[in-house]
């Protein structure tokens, strides 16, 4: 009697991904460099507010740094594409680390307030660490869409993990050791990780010298609508954070806001990993519409929880569920950005996407704060719902442009 043929299991796509020569080495260095991205702003606020007694000053300093980053980051990425990751990212990181140390010293020794703005603005040269890693994956798997999908999913999960652990680590260091400890540790991690990452030259994408005919990725067909989707998605993130902080404080549980927000990031992290292990649909533009539609629907859950229950535990569960759609949206959007970006400009294209997200976070934070002031924290959750709905409208409107062949 013939024996039944054993079922063959599909190999784990993440195991397959990290069998790529050099992948584990550059990923380790990049993760070390990326963790401080979630530490610096929290550390700066704690350090400045503790020393100067002004959260307004601390917020203004960090906002200035965010604005400077939005201006400088695309130029840094353009230089990376033109001259290579190692040649540009390392000196840019040195400047950023010196800016962090200058801020630390100015705070510690009581320098005038304007020096704090100057020091933190210098950190704008920090390279887009996630973009650098995604550019390597895009180069290594340019002929393998399934592997690139898994890589983008892993990178999004790594982003969520770093922004979940970074603030916790910063708050712990600043409170357990000394106020400047978070900034100091972040600077050391950033420099160490970037040196390790840049040392992996075998996986570095080739450079593309810029010519007079080279156009900005923004002018590529379908790229602008994608940036608009990222802008609206960033507004979802920014408003969720501000409104949740206000809601928790209103219930008398301000200290619980951090763990509640971490649950939203955890939901996104897990969803990103699961999304990367699934076989993606062939049409990436249609997949993006589906992901954004799911995000718009799930963002209604925190609004319902806040308006009908008044329970922080129920809100936390709603945020956990709502976070499940954000990572797939970001992964699919980044995949389209990689496809629409002209060859040799990957770092610049992905940095422009991140810049759009940062702009959306700033707009969402401001709008969320205004709605909380005018209508209360519970109604504030209407802002991420509207932002997600706007993202869906823009996504559907731009579908024809970013699904068409590039020109």
Q: Can you spell out the DSSP letters for 96-118? A: HHHHHHHHHHHHHTT--HHHHHH
Kindly report the CATH number assigned to the domain that includes residue 325.
Answer: 1.20.1250.20
195-233 pLDDT, tens digit per residue, is 999 888 888 887 766 654 556 676 667 778 888 888 999
Question: What mean pLDDT do residues 135-155 have?
Answer: 82
Domains in the chain, number:
2
DSSP code string of 301-338: HHHHHHHHT--HHHHHHHHHHHGGGHHHHHHHHHHHHH
Mean pLDDT, all residues of the chain: 81
99-113 pLDDT, tens digit per residue, is 989 988 988 888 888
83-103 pLDDT, tens digit per residue, is 888 888 899 999 999 998 998
Least confident piece of the model among 123-132, 154-163, 180-189, 322-331: 154-163
Percentage of the chain lying above the pLDDT 90 cut: 13
Predicted pLDDT of residue 207: 76
Query: Does 347 lie in the same domain as 275?
Result: yes
Query: Does 256 lie in the same domain as 181?
Result: no
252-274 pLDDT, tens digit per residue, is 776 676 677 777 778 888 887 88
Predicted pLDDT of residue 8: 42
Query: Does 355 lie in the same domain as 398?
Result: yes
223-242 pLDDT, tens digit per residue, is 788 888 889 998 888 888 77
Query: Does 340 lie in the same domain as 237?
Result: yes
Kindly report the CATH number assigned to the domain that includes residue 191.
Answer: 1.20.1250
113-138 pLDDT, tens digit per residue, is 888 888 888 888 888 888 888 888 88
| Cβ neighbours of residue 354 closer than 8 Å, sequence gap 6 or more | 73, 128, 130, 131
Q: Is the dihedral of CA 364, 370, 374, 376 positive or negative?
A: positive
Name the strand (E) or helix (H) holding 242.
helix 223-250
- From residue 355, give the alpha-carbon distance in Å to each of 107, 129, 130, 231, 233: 28, 13, 12, 8, 12
Query: Does 244 lie in the same domain as 132?
Result: no
Query: Does 195 lie in the same domain as 279?
Result: no
Q: Which range of residues forms the domain containing residue 200?
A: 21-143+167-206
The whole-angstrom distance between residue 98's C-alpha and the CA centroid of its chain comes to 23
**Coil/strand/helix, residue 248:** helix
- Characterize 144-167 residue by residue with b for buried, 16 or more Cβ atoms within 10 angstroms of its Cβ, and e for exposed: eeebbbbbbbbbbbbbbbbbbebb
Residue 2 domain-assigned (yes or no): no
355-400 pLDDT, tens digit per residue, is 888 888 878 877 887 888 788 888 889 999 999 999 999 888 876 6
Query: Does 251 lie in the same domain as 197?
Result: no
Query: Does 299 lie in the same domain as 233?
Result: yes
Residue 222 domain-assigned (yes or no): yes
Predicted pLDDT of residue 5: 42
| pTM, two decimal places | 0.77
Query: Does 404 lie in the same domain as 367?
Result: yes
pLDDT band at 176 (very low <50, low <70, confident <90, very high): confident
Residue 303 domain-assigned (yes or no): yes
Predicted pLDDT of residue 390: 93
Question: CA-based angle 201:207:209, to the nearest 5?
Answer: 155
Say if residues 183 and 119 touch (Cβ distance below 8 Å).
Answer: no
Q: How far apart are CA 210 and CA 82, in angstroms?
A: 6
Residue 369 domain-assigned (yes or no): yes
Residue 11 domain-assigned (yes or no): no
Residue 6 domain-assigned (yes or no): no
Query: Does 366 lie in the same domain as 238?
Result: yes
| Cβ neighbours of residue 92 closer than 8 Å, sequence gap 6 or more | 76, 79, 125, 126, 127
Query: Does 76 lie in the same domain as 51?
Result: yes
From 181, 206, 231, the end of a domain falls on 206
Residue 279 domain-assigned (yes or no): yes
Least confident piece of the model among 41-55, 94-108, 171-185, 221-235: 41-55
Residue 10 domain-assigned (yes or no): no
Query: Does 175 lie in the same domain as 256?
Result: no
């Amino acid at each position: 009697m013939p024996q039944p043929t054993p079922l063959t299991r599909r190999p784990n796509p993440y195991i397959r991904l990290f069998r790529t020569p050099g992948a584990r080495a550059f990923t380790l260095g990049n993760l070390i460099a990326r963790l401080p991205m979630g530490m610096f702003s929290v550390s700066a606020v704690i350090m400045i507010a503790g020393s100067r007694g002004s959260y307004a000053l601390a917020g203004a300093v960090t906002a200035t740094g965010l604005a400077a980053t939005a201006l400088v980051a695309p130029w840094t990425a353009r230089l990376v594409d033109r001259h290579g990751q190692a040649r540009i990212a390392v000196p840019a990181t040195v400047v950023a680390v010196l800016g962090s140390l200058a801020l630390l010293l100015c705070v510690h020794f009581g320098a005038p307030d304007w020096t704090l703005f100057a020091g933190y603005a210098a950190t704008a040269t920090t390279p887009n660490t996630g973009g650098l890693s995604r550019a390597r994956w895009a180069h290594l798997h340019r002929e393998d869409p399934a592997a690139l999908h898994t890589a983008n999913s892993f990178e999004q999960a790594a982003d969520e993990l770093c922004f979940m652990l970074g603030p916790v680590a910063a708050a712990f260091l600043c409170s357990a050791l000394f106020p400047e400890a978070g900034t100091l540790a972040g600077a050391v991690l950033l420099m160490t990780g970037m040196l390790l990452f840049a040392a992996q030259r075998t996986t570095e994408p080739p450079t593309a010298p810029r010519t007079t005919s080279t156009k900005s990725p923004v002018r590529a067909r379908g790229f602008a609508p994608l940036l608009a989707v990222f802008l609206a998605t960033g507004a979802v993130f920014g408003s969720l954070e501000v409104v949740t902080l206000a809601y928790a404080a209103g219930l008398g549980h301000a200290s619980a806001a951090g763990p509640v927000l971490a649950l939203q990031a955890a939901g996104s992290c897990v969803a990103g990993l699961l999304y990367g292990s699934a076989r993606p649909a062939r049409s990436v533009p249609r997949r993006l519409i589906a992901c954004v539609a799911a995000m718009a629907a799930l963002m209604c859950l925190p609004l319902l929880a806040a308006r009908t229950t008044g329970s922080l535990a129920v809100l936390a569960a709603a945020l956990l569920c709502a976070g499940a759609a954000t990572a797939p949206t970001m992964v699919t959007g980044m995949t389209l950005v990689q496809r629409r970006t002209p060859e040799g400009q990957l770092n610049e294209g992905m940095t422009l996407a991140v810049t759009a997200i940062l702009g959306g976070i700033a707009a969402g934070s401001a709008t969320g704060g205004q709605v909380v002031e005018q209508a209360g924290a519970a109604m504030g959750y209407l802002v991420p719902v509207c932002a997600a709905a706007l993202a869906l409208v823009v996504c559907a409107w731009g579908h024809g442009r970013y699904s068409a062949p590039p020109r």
